[in-house]
Structure 1
Amino acid sequence: MSDAQKISDRTDTASLADEPKPRASFARRLQTLWRNVLGAPSASDPTLLESLEEALEGRDEEGRALAPEERHMLANILSFGELRVDDVMVPRADVVAVEESDTLEEILRLYRESTHSRMPIYRETLDDPLGMVHIKDVVTYLATDGTGAPRDPFSLKAVRREVLFVPPSMPALDLLLKMQATHIHLALVIDEYGGTDGLVTIENLVEEIVGDIEDEHDTDQGPLLVKRDDGTIDADARAPIEELEDMIGLKLVDEEGDDDIETLGGLVFSLVGRVPVRGELIKHPLGLEFEVKDADPRRIKKLRIHKVEAAASSDEDGTDDDKRAAS
C-alpha cells in the first residue's frame, strides 16, 4: 500500500471518528433540558424549550426524525413541571405498609408479596405513620458472621427511617428536588385533616419521565384480558382494542375514527373525554359497560367489562335485520 493510500485511509478514519454518534444530539438536548428542569446551571440557549417543542413535531437539530420513544420522553419532561403530588401518588387503598407490632417473619412476607423495597410503618392506622423500613436494613440485620443467626432480637424501631410528609397540592418537581436534597426517597401524602392520602416514591416520579420501570423482581402481570365465569372480562387498560374485538367479535372503534385510540384505556377516555374515577361505569354505544376498577388522576389502569354477551347478541340481530332489509 502506498504512502498516499495510508494517509487517505487515516484521514477517512479520522473523519468517521469526528462524526456524531446516532442520537448524540438527542442525548445532549435531553441532558440539558433535564438540568434546566431541576434548576441546575447550564449553558443552554434561551430558546431551548421552543426548539424541543418543535422537535416533538418534526426533526431534531441535525435533521433526523425523533423516534416515538424519544418524543414521548421529551413530552413527559416538558409536562413534568405541571404535575402535582396527587397526580403521581399511590392511593391509600394500594399502599402496602408495616404495623409497628409486626414480626420479622410478617415483614419479610410483605416484602416477598409486594416486591417493594420501602414500606411505611404505622401505629394502628395509616393516619398515624411512624416512618419507613427499607429492605436493605432488614437484610443487614439478617446478615451474620457465619453463626447462622442474628446476634440481637429484631427491633423495627432500630431499623426505622424517616419519611417526608407532603401535601397533595405540592408540585411533583418540588418533591423530586426535596428527595434529591434530603436523600429520603419515600413521601407520605397528608391531607388537610392530617389523614394519609397515599405515598410517593422517587420511582413514581422518575416513571413519569421514562415510563414504567420493571426490574428483575417485577413479576409477570399475566394476560391483559381475562374472561370470568360470569361472562364479564377483566382487562388491563393497556390492552390493545383489537384483542378485545377479537375476543368478543365486535368492532368497537369506527374505522374512520381517531387513529390515536389504540388501547382500552384510550377508548374509555375517548367515550367520556376525561380520566374517569374508580368505580365509575362508562357505557359504549354498542351496549358494553366499562367499570373502572383502578385509576389515578392521570390514567386508567384496570377495567371490568360488562354486558358482553348482550352486546354481541344485539349486534348479530342488527346484522340480520340489515341483511333482510337489503334483500
Structure 2
Amino acid sequence: MDAIHYWLPVLWAAIIGVAVVLYVILDGFDLGLGILFPFTPEEERRDVMMNSVAPFWDGNETWLVLGGGGLFVAFPLAYAVIMPALYLPIIIMLLGLIFRGVAFEFRWTAKPNHHFWDQAFAYGSITAAFMQGVVLGGYLQGIHVENNAFAGGTFDWFAPFPLFTGVALVIGYALLGTTWLIMKTEGELAVNARRWSKYLLLAVLAIMVIVSLWTPLAFDRISERWFTWPNILYLSPVPILTALAAFGCWYGLNNGREVMPFMSAISLFLLGFVGLAISNTPYLVPPSLTFWDTAAVPESQIFMLVGVLIMLPLILGYTVFVYWMFRGKVREGEGYH
C-alpha cells in the first residue's frame, strides 16, 4: 500500500473523530440543559438556562454535519453498512433534535402559553441524547457484515449494552449541563447545579467502571487490546488521567470553583473517547472493516479534503470568537433571544 492510500484514510478518520468529539462536547452541555429541564420547574430559571446557551447551540450542530458528511464522502462503504444497522435510532435521534430546535425558537414567542414547548425541549433533548448513546453502543458491540454489506437485523441495536450506553450518555450530558450552569449562572440555580453535579459525577464514574469491565468481557478484540503485554503498560496513562480528571471535578465542586468542574467533565468525555478509539482502531466498522477497507478513492478524499482544510479553521475560529464574546455569567432578565 503506497503512502497516499495509507495516510488519506487515517487523516479522514482523524477529522471525523475530531468532529464527533467537538459535537459531543459542544452540543452535549446544551442537551444536558434540556435533560435538566424537568428538574427545574421555575420559569425564570428555565429562561436563564436557555439564555446561557442561546448564542452557541445552533453552531454546535455544525460538527454533527461534518462527522456524518465526512463519513459519507471519505468512507462510503462504512456509511452504507452503518446506516442500515442503526437507521431507527439515528432517525429517532434526528427527530429529537428537530423537536428540541423548534422548541428553542418557539418557546419565546409562545409565552405565556409555552408549556408544550418546554416539554418538547426537555423530551427532545432526552430522546436525542439517549439515542446517541444507543447508536454508540450499537456501533461498539459490532455490526454483522457479509460481502461488504450489512447482514444483521433491524433491531440488533436493541440489546442490553446499547440501551445501557443510551442511559449512560443521558447522565453524562446532564453532568456537562450542570457544570456549565455552575460556570455560567449564579444564585440558587448555580447552587442546585453544584449539588446535582456531585451525584451525576459519581454516576458517571460508576458508568465508566461498568463499561471498562463490560466491554473487555463481552468483546475479545477489546480485551486483547487493553489486557495483553505490553499494551497494558502503554495504555495505563488513560485510566490514570481519567482518575485525575474525576478528582479535579470533585475538588472543583467542593471548593467553589466555577470553571474547573466543567473543564474536568470535558476531560472525562475526552478520555472516554480516547479509550473507545484505542479499543476499536483501525476498525471503522467493528469488528471487520478497517479505515482502508471502507475508504473512497483518493481523488474523492482529496477533493473534499481541500474544502475541509479551508473551512475547518474558519469554523473553529468562529466558534472560539463566539464563546469568547459571550463569556461571563447570565443573570435573570438577561438574554440574547
Task: Compare the two structures and name the one with the higher strand fraction.
Answer: 1
Higher relative contact order (CA 8 A, sep 6+): 2
TM-score, normalised via structure 2 length: 0.25
TM-score, normalised via structure 1 length: 0.25
Q: Which has the larger radius of gyration?
A: 1
Task: Compare the two structures and name the one with the higher helix fraction.
Answer: 2
